[in-house]
Amino acid sequence: MAARRGIFITIEGLDGCGKSTQLERLAGVLRADSLDVLATREPGGTALGDRIRGVLLDSATTGLSPWAEMALMFASRAQHLHELILPALENGRIVLCDRFTDSTEAYQGGGRKLGSEAVLSLHRVLCGNIQPDLTILMDSEPGASVARARRRNRARAASDAGEADENRFERESRAFFDRVHNAYLAIARREAHRFFVVDARRSPEVVHPEIVAAVRERLKLAARTA
Ligand code: TYD
């Protein structure tokens, strides 16, 4: 694998925790500093990945086995790394990615009970064990976050018939999201060196500067060791 000159930052959390808003605002701040930012997301990020995303998130997809679900998440990711993320990092860009393998460990490993070992093994085989330089975990209350995600999806469905239905995960039970939440916290403890956990129960205006400060700190560190 070619040398990696850029910085790989991922953002994680439960559905409806406010990740996408924070990622957009963070990208805006970094671009205002004249940094070259690639903002992307999973599942998706490439033409193939977006097709896989459609299958995974559409509530019309029924009876998908948890193992097939995990395989599709990794198929999207392997393509995303090959086509977008690794070339961007080789070109020295800052990659901001909304979800990555920690999502698979939390949702499929924890939520679907497939366990961490299977996720980590697939990550080694299919993704060259690529790890983010920094992972921001937006820690939120499962009940409140999922209620917010469901409201958002209902509003989308009501306002624009052309929008994709992305509700399949939001239909899961409270127990499922509690397992996802606990799995995230366990990963953050295990991988403390790359995690920044931010309390996302507070307003976006309070959370935003804390995320920016953590990212700036990481960029400074990278500049020193370059
Ligand atoms: P996302 O688009 O980030 O949704 P939201 O804005 O509601 O957080 O993610 C789509 C869904 O896919 C989300 O419910 C989490 C799920 N997911 C997994 O289960 N495993 C994965 O590896 C990834 C990347 C996402």
**Residue 43 and residue 57 in contact, taking contact as beta carbons nearer than 8 Å:** yes
The per-residue pLDDT for 136 is 98
**Taking all residues of the chain, what is their mean pLDDT, rounded to a whole number?**
94
* Strand ranges for the chain from DSSP E: 7-13, 37-41, 94-98, 134-139, 195-199
Specify the ligand 1 atom closest to the Cα of 43. Answer: 24
% of the chain at pLDDT higher than 90? 85
Residue 130: CA count within 13 A, CB half-sphere: 24
By most ligand atoms within 8 Å of CB, the mutation choice from 10, 40, 103, 127 for ligand 1 is 103
Q: pLDDT of 176-213, one tens digit each?
A: 999 999 999 999 999 999 999 999 999 999 999 999 99
Alpha helices in the chain (DSSP H): 19-32, 47-57, 66-80, 86-90, 101-104, 116-127, 142-159, 174-190, 204-225
Q: pLDDT of 63-87, one tens digit each?
A: 999 999 999 999 999 999 999 999 9
Taking the centre of ligand 1 as the mean of its atom positions, its distance from the CA of residue 192, in whole angstroms, is 22
Q: What is the mean pLDDT of residues 103-116?
A: 98
| Tokens linked to 211 | 């995320």
| Tokens linked to 96 | 């901001």
Taking the centre of ligand 1 as the mean of its atom positions, its distance from the CA of residue 204, in whole angstroms, is 20
The per-residue pLDDT for 160 is 64
CA-CA distance, 220 to 226, in Å (whole number)? 10
Nearest CA to ligand 1 atom 7: 15
3-state DSSP call for residue 99?
coil
The per-residue pLDDT for 1 is 47
Nearest CA to ligand 1 atom 22: 104
Q: How confident is the model at residue 166 (pLDDT cuts 50, 70, 90)?
A: confident
Instruction: Report which residue type is found at 113.
Output: K
Comparing 8-17, 49-58, 166-175, 200-209, the range with the smallest average pLDDT is 166-175
pLDDT reading at 111 higher than 60: yes
Specify the ligand 1 atom closest to the Cα of 56. Answer: 12
Task: Provide the whole-model pTM.
Answer: 0.95
Q: How confident is the model at residue 114 (pLDDT cuts 50, 70, 90)?
A: very high
What are the CA-CA distances from residue 19 to residues 23, 116, 118, 201 (Å)? 6, 23, 26, 12
The per-residue pLDDT for 161 is 62
Residues with CB under 6 A from ligand 1: 15-16, 19-20, 42-43, 57, 73, 98-99, 103-104, 107-108, 149, 169
Instruction: Check whether the bond before 204 is cis (ω within 30° of 0).
Output: no
**Residue 57 and residue 166 in contact, taking contact as beta carbons nearer than 8 Å:** yes
| Tokens linked to 91 | 């070109």
Residue whose C-alpha is closest to residue 51's, from 74, 76, 70: 76
Specify the ligand 1 atom closest to the Cα of 107. Answer: 19
pLDDT reading at 2 higher than 70: no
Q: Is 159 exposed, middle or buried (0-12, 13-18, 19+ CB in 10 A)?
A: exposed
Taking the centre of ligand 1 as the mean of its atom positions, its distance from the CA of residue 87, in whole angstroms, is 24
Instruction: Report which residue type is found at 213.
Output: A
- Report the DSSP beta bridge partners of residue 197: 137
The per-residue pLDDT for 154 is 81
Taking the centre of ligand 1 as the mean of its atom positions, its distance from the CA of residue 101, in whole angstroms, is 11
CA-CA distance, 226 to 212, in Å (whole number)? 21
Q: How confident is the model at residue 162 (pLDDT cuts 50, 70, 90)?
A: low
**Residue 119 and residue 70 in contact, taking contact as beta carbons nearer than 8 Å:** yes
